[in-house]
Structure 1
Amino acid sequence: MNHFFALPACCTPLDAHWPLPFALPETVLLSTHFDSTLLVNDDFERSAIAPPASIQRSVAKRQAEFLAGRVCARAALQQLEGMDFSPAIGEDRAPVWPAHISGSITHSTGRAAAIVAKKAHWRGLGMDLENILNPERAERLAGEILTAPEMKRMADGRREQLAMLVTLTFSVKESLFKALYPIVQQRFYFEHAEVLEWSERGEVRLRLLTDLSSEWRNGSQLDAQFAVMDGQLLSLVSVRA
């Protein structure tokens, strides 16, 4: 039986709108807006979400974004299969999901979201939300995030797209890591994947540049998708069962 928990004072009612261009069957995605200045002392207690010690010691912004993400994740699991469960933080800092569930939580300025599915349908889900970088910061970060071929394609493109492309590349590589790390149990970094192509419709094609397992080898390609909304970019990488 589903339980209904009070919404934290810092969060807006949960939104089930699918914001990305291509809906994934057998998944639940929920989001909320949050305002850390509205966080009150009993928000965790009234929401029945226990804050880890590291969160209890953190500033209001970190507490609010953690709480907002967990509220979305628990409600998504309730909607998926009536489960009352809030993912803990693992030793690797990633959310700890039930063994038969794949999921991802993300947050950026004022917004949080979670997506869940049964592993029988989706083996891996990685979602990432980022504020669109300003052009100056995008130029500074490009060399840390982009591979040489990505840098060349960016240089050949329109300058007004630079900030969006660096943000997109950062975000989809974050989503890729979130989707594959639970499967391969091996860390990898920005230089170990590259964006091959993308479209303004929200389609992205990625390629691995390193061996992560006997299945996920150098050259393996995956699809991603993204959407831009209110100055933020949301990306998603999904691995079918």
Structure 2
Amino acid sequence: MTVAALAEIADRVRGLFPCPVAVCAEGIGASEAELWPVEAEAMRAAVPRRRAEFAAGRAVARRAIAELGLPPVAIPMQPDRSPGWPAGVAGSITHTDVLALAAVARAEVIAAIGIDAEPDEPLPSGVAEMVCRPEERAWCATMPDPARAERLIFVAKEAAYKCQYPLSRAGLEFDALSIEAAADGALVARFTLPAGPFATGDRLSGRAARCGGLVIAAFALPHRP
């Protein structure tokens, strides 16, 4: 993927958030040498492909943190496999086969971020039954390309899951969130079950976009003192 294409995707993701968020994108395989010791230890037994994805994700996360005016730091993998963000930073990382994306913000502005990206292609046969709730399947059936709409639901759920996780530490199943998608790209993720501080019926607001052959979803929770 070209530098221009990566910059276009980063710009598009940046525009999905309601307030300033630092977003960076990089091709997989470009940053193998940039793992910090604690990160390299987490990848010691990983296959080369996984190590390359991890390295690219950490590289773009550090670049995004630098855009906030903060010093570079290691971003270790926590026991639950989520990124260990430095104090005062909220962030999210996602990978596809070809690129890594990171979005970060100061925690005094945004309490939690979730992003996800997937190829803008139909969801494989049989996956929708595991991912989509009945109301989501009904909505997808009204779309011109139902299988691509199902992919959007999947990406939105992954992004919403990442957004809620730092606050709830709850490993949710797909049916614990119900996604509503609007024609203008607006997303709502509604909790169908309680999770940590979130009650049944609570909602997360986000947005989705299609760019560079990808479908991308982003959610953010504003900081509330």
Which TM-score bucket, shorter chain as reference?
0.7 to 0.9
**Which position in structure 2 is the counterpart of 1:180?**
164
Partners in 1 of 2:169 and 2:48 — Cα distance? 32
**Which position in structure 2 is the counterpart of 1:30?**
24
Distance 1:30 1:225, change over 3 A: same
Q: Does structure 1 residue 148 correspond to structure 2 residue 134?
A: yes
Question: TM-score by structure 1 length?
Answer: 0.82
Partners in 1 of 2:137 and 2:35 — Cα distance? 46
- After TM superposition, list the pairs within 5 Å mapping 1:1-241 onto structure 2: 15=7, 17-20=10-13, 21-34=15-28, 36=29, 43-44=32-33, 47=34, 49-50=36-37, 51-134=39-122, 137=124, 139-155=125-141, 157-158=142-143, 160-199=144-183, 201-213=184-196, 215-241=197-223
Q: Which one has the largest radius of gyration?
A: 1
Partners in 1 of 2:17 and 2:218 — Cα distance? 11
Deviations 1:171-205 (A, max 9, x none): 11111111111011222121001112322x32112
Partners in 1 of 2:21 and 2:55 — Cα distance? 21
Partners in 1 of 2:105 and 2:122 — Cα distance? 34
Supply the AA of the counterpart residue of 2:218.
L
By how many angstroms is 1:133 displaced?
Answer: 3.6
* Alignment check: 8 A CA contact 2:122 2:151 kept: no
Deviations 1:78-100 (A, max 9, x none): 12123111311000000001132
**Which position in structure 2 is the counterpart of 1:3?**
none
Distance 1:130 1:205, change over 3 A: same
Partners in 2 of 1:99 and 1:30 — Cα distance? 20
Partners in 2 of 1:151 and 1:167 — Cα distance? 11
By how many angstroms is 1:59 displaced?
Answer: 2.4
Partners in 2 of 1:102 and 1:230 — Cα distance? 26
Deviations 1:67-118 (A, max 9, x none): 1110000111112123111311000000001132110011101111111111
- Which blocks of at least 5 consecutive residues in structure 2 are unaligned? none
Supply the AA of the counterpart residue of 2:193.
T
* Alignment check: 8 A CA contact 2:17 2:218 kept: no
Q: Secondary structure at the match of 1:19?
A: helix
Partners in 2 of 1:163 and 1:69 — Cα distance? 28
- Which blocks of at least 5 consecutive residues in structure 1 are unaligned? 1-9
Distance 1:234 1:147, change over 3 A: same
Question: TM-score by structure 2 length?
Answer: 0.87
By how many angstroms is 1:26 displaced?
Answer: 3.4
**Which position in structure 2 is the counterpart of 1:6?**
none
Q: Secondary structure at the match of 1:81?
A: coil
Supply the AA of the counterpart residue of 2:222.
R
Supply the AA of the counterpart residue of 1:19.
R
Deviations 1:149-175 (A, max 9, x none): 1112223x13x4212211111111111
